[in-house]
Structure 1
Amino acid sequence: MFESLSERLERSFKILKGEGKISEINVAETLKDVRKALLDADVNFKIAKTFTDTVKEKAIGQNVLTSLKPNQLMVKIVHDELAQLMGGASVDINLKGSPTVILMSGLQGSGKTTFSGKLANLLKTKRSKNPLLVACDVYRPAAIEQLKVLGEQLGVPVYSDLESKNPVSIAEAAIKHAKLHGNDVVIVDTAGRLAVDEAMMNEIAAIKKAINPQEILFVVDSMTGQDAVNTAKEFNDRLDFDGVILTKLDGDTRGGAALSIRSVVNKPIKFVGTGEKMDALDVFYPERMADRILGMGDIVSLVERAQEQYDEEDARRLQKRIAKNQFDFNDFISQIQQIKKMGNIKDLAAMIPGMGKALKDVDIDDNAFKGIEAIIHSMTPLERANPAMLNGSRKQRIAAGSGTTIVDVNRLLKQFDQTSKMMKMATMSQGKLKLGKRR
């Protein structure tokens, strides 16, 4: 995510880092490089120029020239302005109404249908809603089928009418259906086109007029760059939508859409799609995104993801086992399963400051734990519960059973031992901290 832009900006700030004396010329040179980096990331020229002019004005006003660490102060100013450029603060989806009606818009291939499923999943699992998905793309039977497959996968009902070719009447009937069946959110997936055309705009405008949605979302493929911004403007002129959804932000995107779209349409980015899985959907936080762009990681989002998988009772049980030196391979594999539920391993690691750059050329896929899991599953229940009993012959059997080598088994045992010690130390430190507070 934004790797090339992050690298370019880092190089820009190095212009200031090595200077013995900072001048307006140095600052101007840095910002010229920043502007080039933004343009290369497919940011609109006018927006890039206004951005760097604002940063320069603030930099001179905040005494960057006399600062002991001018590059750090410059990074902070750029960070704050990036966050402001992307909206400043997060804006939540509007869930008022009974039921709440959400209308999806966007071009074909932007990811509307997939996002509709992701949004239904998020509302069901995290907001305790009972959503209904509505298939209003009457031109593409595959779109209706795709929505049905997603609905079945998520346990979310899907309303469709294969006999009707009128998306307006389908949407109206779906809302009546939702009221009868207790669905408190109706997500209407509409047809897209390969390009903006009058027929498409008239159709979706007619749906909007008929169902009067509380929320209209424009879904856009972030990999289309500046074209995405232009398309957003055309849709907004006709629909006056409430928010933008950026999909495929995990791809090889230059970031221009995320940085430009807010300024062009004056509408907030509400969610970003970060992968194929149904839970790969994040609320858009401008400040956190600015952190990622500048290589600062995103610890807050990492902690939030961890908390979603966190079970207090399990944590207390694990803490007691660690304190009694009872941590075993059953506990170890349980922790691995929780980490896997949090998302893509490389994306998670990139949320740790400095790790994104370190892992740039490292390939970490979702099967990163496959070998470890195979080794643990090749142990007997007795061996998993008593790691100390793993002698040479047992290791040989486990290696053969898991399709690995004795070296791999020994490496895992070493990792397990290190993890046990670290968790023991963390538990002891936490205990001392609690004791200190009681005193």
Structure 2
Amino acid sequence: MTATRVDEDALAYELDRSHVFHSWSAQGALHPMVLAGGRGCRVWDHAGNEYLDFSSQMVNLNIGHQHPAVTAAIADQAAKLATIAPATANLARGQAAQRITARAPEGLNKVFFTNGGADAVENAIRMARLHTGRDKVLSTYRSYHGNTGAAVAATGDWRRMPNEYARGHVHFFGPYLYRTEFWAAGPEQECERALRHLERMVQCEGPATVAAILLESVPGTAGIMVPPPGYLAGVREIADRYGIVLILDEVMCGFGRTGRWFAFDGHNVKPDLITFAKGVNSGYVPVGGVIISDAIVDTFDERVFPGGLTYSGHPLAAASIVAALDAMEQEGIVENAAEIGRSALGPELALLAQDCPIVGEVRGEGVFWAVELVADRATREPVSAATIARVKSEMVARGVLPFTADNRVHVVPPCVVTAAEVTEGVAVLRDVLTALPAEEIR
């Protein structure tokens, strides 16, 4: 550890605490980690301390840190044309949209680019309302859709409560068998009852008032709850029955995270609008967007779409999308995520659940897994925030960066993770969980 590196860490920390206001935080007690570099599934600080990134930062680094093809594409585009207004045509933007729609279902052929996931959701809601002439948006309580006006109101968790300024949002319960709201005994019953609940919500709200049903294909921050077979197709049927737009939010779960290009692939469902961000370019440059069905595109052929962003389809972001998606295809990165889920993460987490009484359930697919921690397996009482904080700090001390939410550790490494890295990370989680004194678990 050189003096220069120590000084860089100290300076980075000092500047942050003096001048940076952090999200979702009380500012006074913050102690942010300083990071200086990364490659693949590893990051390090200026002093050279290395960590295995089992969080993908914000569950967005699907291609891993510092993929050379993506960083080179950004640099090349910056040298050619760093920015251009969204009203112009630009080759990188067109190529990015082409790459994205090529992986979408038939009949979704255009992309409206945004700066991130929240404003993708905002604009999808705007499109649905204008297309239908209706107002209400139905979304689940266990969801997160972003931190802008309509997106945070559509969010189901506590973060919407200080921010409920947008109109026309109604929440319902989606399927979650481990903590079923429907007294279900199995996935078929959970699916059937959850769909019945949703249809009754539509009927009671008035079908002629409902513009959209908004769902994360696989809810992410809310708990990585893979929908039971038939659920998404059943939601599509309800939407069709009442003339409602179906918006599937793929911001966190899309572009390889579940071992598929889109998380809804394989669920026999075709949405009207798809929101995306994070995974499309692994967050190397801020970007998001809405993939739009032809029917909704047609609504705006002779009618002005009243939405826009200065940085919509930014050339640097577009170039990073092209490079990321091409590299993911050429290197089999989505297939790697699927195989890792089947042969490494899934089995190793199943053994963890078998051996550690604090684990109530593990669930997921691809490189998108949740380990739900409970104080009592019989009652399924969640562990406290203090216990989760201790688990997180102990994992970091052992060189692994986890993603935690509520009473869960989300195991969400980049899609390029190897089986050896999975074994390394899960072993650290196992060590931390088994070392927790039973009397302190609460």
Relative to the length of structure 1, the TM-score reads 0.32
Higher helix share: 1
Relative to the length of structure 2, the TM-score reads 0.32
Q: Which has the larger radius of gyration?
A: 1
